[in-house]
């Protein structure tokens, strides 16, 4: 059972946050949504590298060329909460597919059918949704220092 002072992210807040995060993708073309997805995945990667450095003391220079998958592996090795790692693994899979196969598949499909197909847009939209949910989860967990007992709390800055 949750403690009364333990922060909680309600379903309503989660839905509202995700809907707000997805707004930037609405009305955009397939390639614009792809570019936004890849940019947001890059922001997630940078945020997680910063987190590794800040929380676990990993030297930033060792993370410079690390991929999102490698960052995920380091977080997992440090014992970060399993629910976050599981979600991150899924996002890494989408990101890798988008980076290495999506554009080729999109061009082949478009060449065959002469237009965007539901298949290519559905796969991208699933990846976008999971990525934005993970980003929301990461930001909320950071804000509320809700990483659990396996992560030492962030030092509070002295009030001036």
Question: Which pLDDT value is given to residue 103?
Answer: 73
This prediction's pTM: 0.81
Report the distance separating Cα 116 and Cα 160, nearest Å.
56
Question: Which pLDDT value is given to residue 104?
Answer: 72
Q: What is the 3-state secondary structure (H, E, C) of 48-100?
A: HHHHHHHHHCCCHHHHCCCCHHHHHHHHHHCCCCHHHHHHHHHHHHHHHHHHH
Domain ranges of the chain: 28-143
Question: Which pLDDT value is given to residue 139?
Answer: 95
Q: What is the pLDDT of residues 22-38, one digit of tens each?
A: 999 999 988 899 999 99
**DSSP assignment letter at 153:** P
Q: How far is CA 110 from CA 25, 27, 107, 151, in A?
A: 21, 19, 5, 47
Question: Which pLDDT value is given to residue 54?
Answer: 94
Report the distance separating Cα 138 and Cα 154, nearest Å.
15
Question: Which pLDDT value is given to residue 115?
Answer: 61
> For the chain, which residues score pLDDT lower than 50?
1, 153, 155-160
Kindly provide the b/e burial profile for residues 11-37, where b requires at least 16 CB atoms within 10 angstroms of the residue's own CB: eeeeeebbeebeeebeeeebeebbebb
């Amino acid at each position: 059972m949750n403690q009364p002072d333990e922060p909680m992210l309600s379903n309503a807040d989660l839905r509202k946050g995700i809907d707000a995060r997805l707004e930037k993708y609405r009305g955009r073309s397939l390639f614009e949504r792809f570019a936004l997805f890849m940019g947001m995945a890059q922001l997630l990667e940078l945020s997680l590298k910063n987190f590794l450095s800040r929380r676990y003391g990993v030297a930033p220079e060792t993370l410079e060329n690390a991929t999102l998958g490698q960052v995920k592996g380091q977080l997992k090795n440090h014992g970060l909460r399993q629910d976050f790692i599981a979600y991150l693994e899924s996002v890494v899979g989408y990101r890798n597919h988008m980076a290495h196969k999506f554009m080729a598949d999109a061009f082949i499909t478009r060449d065959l059918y002469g237009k965007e197909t539901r298949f290519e847009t559905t796969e991208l939209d699933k990846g976008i949704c999971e990525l934005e949910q993970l980003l929301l989860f990461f930001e909320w967990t950071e804000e509320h220092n809700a990483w659990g007992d396996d992560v030492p709390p962030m030092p509070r800055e002295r009030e001036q």
